[in-house]
A and B are shown apart, each in its own frame.
Chain A
Amino acid sequence: MRLIKDLGGWFDHRLQLGQPIKEVMQHPVPRRTASWAYVFGSASLTVMILQFVTGICLAFVYVPAADGAWNSLQTLNHQQAFGWFIRALHGWGSNFMVALVIIHMVQVFLFGAFKYPRELTWIVGVFLLLMTLGMAFTGQVLRFDQDAYWGLGIGASVMGRMPFVGPKLVHLMLGGPIIAWEMPKDWPRTSLTRPRRTP
Chain B
Amino acid sequence: MPELIQEPEAPVSSTIAPRKVSRRNMLMTFGIALNAIAGALFAVPVVGYIFGPARRKEMKKELAWITLGPLTQFPVGQTRLATYRNPFVRPWDGDTGNIPCWVRRISADKLQVFAINCAHLGCPVRWYPQSGLFMCPCHGGAYYADGSRASGPPPRGLFEYDYKLEAGQLWIKAGQVPTLASPPSQACADQPKRCACA
Contact = CB atoms under 8 A, between A and B. Distances in A.
Contacts of A100: none
Contacts of B52: 80-83
A85 B45 contact: yes
B49 A86 contact: yes
A89 to B, nearest CB: 8
Given A26-B24, A26-B28, A82 B91 contact: no
B90 interface: yes
A68 B91 contact: yes
Nearest to A88: B45
Most buried by B among A65, A71, A72, A82: A82
Interface of B: 24, 28, 31, 42, 45-46, 48-52, 55, 58, 90-92
B117 to A, nearest CB: 24
Interface in A145-187: none
A94 interface: no
A164 to B, nearest CB: 41
B51 to A, nearest CB: 8
Given A82-B45, A85-B45, A57 B50 contact: yes
Contacts, number: 46
Determine the main DSSP class of A at the interface with B.
helix
Interface in A40-57: 50, 53-54, 57
Contacts of B90: 71-72, 75
Contacts of B48: 81-82
Contacts of A50: 42
A81 B24 contact: no
Contacts of B55: 81
Contact of A53 (B46, B58, B92): B46
Most buried by A among B28, B46, B51: B46
